[in-house]
Amino acid sequence: MEKHAEESGPLLCLCARVTEGEVVAAVERGALDLPSVREATEANTGCGDCADDIEDLIADHQERTAPRGAPR
């Protein structure tokens, strides 16, 4: 599978060789929890060390896209 420029970047999941960009792209397409990101990218299907980083990316995305004044 060829990776698009926005799906490149540093490896986030070493076990499945998934980049940070691939995870961000999955989150932007609607994978808003760890199981959804796992299904979309195969990240976090090995040792599990990347789980916190993935959850941080999801939280960052939700903060950036939440309507102003919405509860967080």
- Write down the pLDDT at residue 53: 97
**CA triplet 18, 20, 24: central angle to 5 degrees?**
110
pLDDT in tens, 8-40: 899 999 999 999 999 999 999 999 999 999 999
pLDDT at 5 over 70: no
> For position 28, what pLDDT does the model report?
96
Cβ burial, residue 72 (10 Å; 0-12/13-18/19+): exposed
Confidence of residue 72 (pLDDT cuts 50, 70, 90): low
